[in-house]
Chain A
């Protein structure tokens, strides 16, 4: 196994894959945590802080539904969408690149790809 790892390590495309995937992962984690903590903090510091006041106000004249509820619902949807976006890119772009790197490394190491 060691020599295959060595071949992969030497492949410049692996460095490219690694940095692409790392940037993408942390971007997604950042979006995710920022959204979650923003929502939770707005809930936690309500009502002392004015910026979250609209949490408890109805979305329009004659409605009982408040902004807090709508945003909470959208958060849930957003999390699932983020999961979907990540998987789409990982399955297509990253896996294609990864498979090519691994196949070449196996061939170079004298194994059946």
Chain B
């Protein structure tokens, strides 16, 4: 039992609950609840986006990948940063000009709202739930190892806290929880990297040299080819990372919390800078862990010779190696705060998909603002329960892989839909639906029938779908289906939808019309 970790963690929970209480008093309208009233600045939003993106899965998972596979962990580092220029160049500004609370707003502007909102909400919810499972499992495992409480207790605690933040504080609380956590994580990561540097004579080269002398790969640790051997998988993984970022609903939602397109751009700049800095830190930490943790037999299980707590714990052991129990407690608390903040952002985005996209726009368009917010609070509760239940079921799944699956859905459903709706004048409702559902089916099918689920989880001998990363296939099918479906659509509705592109395009370029967005 690490007292410092518990104290720090309780401190974080108290502060964030205070923020939630403060935010709840400031949350009066629907716009406050979903988009923090549009009053978040570019800098704050950048920090919050970085917070959403820098999950514990990244911090622990990617450090762990470098720890075990050396150079190839860089694919995740580069892929993680590479998504941001794409978000800026293609989406951020137009999204802000076209949408209101969720990315479905932008998609359904000139197309048939009801079926497209159903598709976009499905894409959002599948991505959110997969992402939630990854975070819940990671959190449960971490708490089990660090605080020695039961996995079930840990998962339920997180579930309860995230529902509190989201349902009482809405987007204002969720954003501030994210900002606090991002600052803590950046500070904690920097301090850890500094201590690693200090231990190894302030030389990156010495870190690498020491790492190579300890790693089982030896000199080859700094050459590629250990993590994934088949090139198609690497390319599929890279595609998924780049375009998946642009399709994560909880990230896209953040662009509606700022005032205008200028602030939306600034958000991306700050987000990309923080994320880039953080990933460079992770790179140092990964090799630092090889250099400083591998040599200490105390961090390995004497019987199995494996790292105590699994490969994801390399960063945690590293913090103990350079800073003792006090620092270990600090980093553990930071990781827990990270998970809590990320699951809150995800829950809010899932609750918005249900309440804003499905309830307010499809099921009961005449619903009052008050009703819609009440439905989102209830959705947050249901999503919390689902996340806890799935967290318990998937206890032994690989965390980084679950998060990858969420990116796969983002890249193969949400991104093609949003991109074509904004950039291609010939997209019609029929085409969007065909492409969207084909992409979703390919992604889900590829995941379920692929090597990880079909063989490792379900115990079949050979996978029906041979590739571990179905992202590139689903992406191509989604684009192909949408384009073919639209070109073959000769209905009168399709002609109207094509004609509507011009006005939508002018609005997306100039922002004229977007400020007039009405309340429900």
Contacts and interface: CB of A to CB of B under 8 A. Distances in A.
Nearest to A44: B234
B503 A79 contact: no
A81 B75 CA distance: 19
Contact of B502 (A9, A44, A56, A91): A9
A36 to B, nearest CB: 5
Contacts of A16: none
Interface residues of B, number: 54
Contact of A64 (B79, B82, B205, B502): B205
Interface string B215-245: 0000010111100100100110010001000
A99 B84 CA distance: 26
A90 B94 CA distance: 13
A108 interface: no
A78 to B, nearest CB: 9
Interface stretch (B334-342, B401-409, B506-514): B506-514
Nearest to B227: A43
B435 to A, nearest CB: 21
- Chain A contact patch, size range: 35 or more
Nearest to B220: A56
A72 B510 contact: no
Nearest to A56: B223
A62 B513 CA distance: 62
A33 B241 CA distance: 12
B418 to A, nearest CB: 15
Given A32-B89, A43-B72, A64-B208, A79 B235 contact: no
Interface stretch (B137-145, B175-183, B261-269, B390-398): B261-269
Given A2-B503, A18-B509, A69-B71, A76 B238 contact: no
Contact of B512 (A4, A55, A56, A95): A4
B88 A37 contact: no
Interface in A33-77: 33, 36-37, 39-47, 52, 55-56, 63-66, 68-69, 72-73, 75-77
Nearest to A66: B222
A45 B223 CA distance: 12
Interface of B: 71-72, 74-75, 77-79, 81-82, 84-86, 88-90, 93, 204-206, 208-209, 212, 220, 222-225, 228, 231, 234-235, 238, 242, 262, 265-266, 268-269, 272-273, 276, 279-280, 283, 502-503, 506-507, 509-513, 516
28 contacts: A4-B512, A5-B506, A8-B512, A9-B502, A25-B89, A33-B86, A33-B242, A40-B75, A41-B231, A43-B234, A56-B224, A64-B205, A65-B205, A66-B71, A68-B222, A72-B283, A75-B81, A76-B77, A79-B82, A80-B81, A80-B276, A82-B85, A83-B269, A83-B273, A86-B85, A87-B88, A98-B509, A105-B512
Minimum-distance CB pairs A-B, first 4? A56-B223, A44-B234, A64-B209, A40-B238
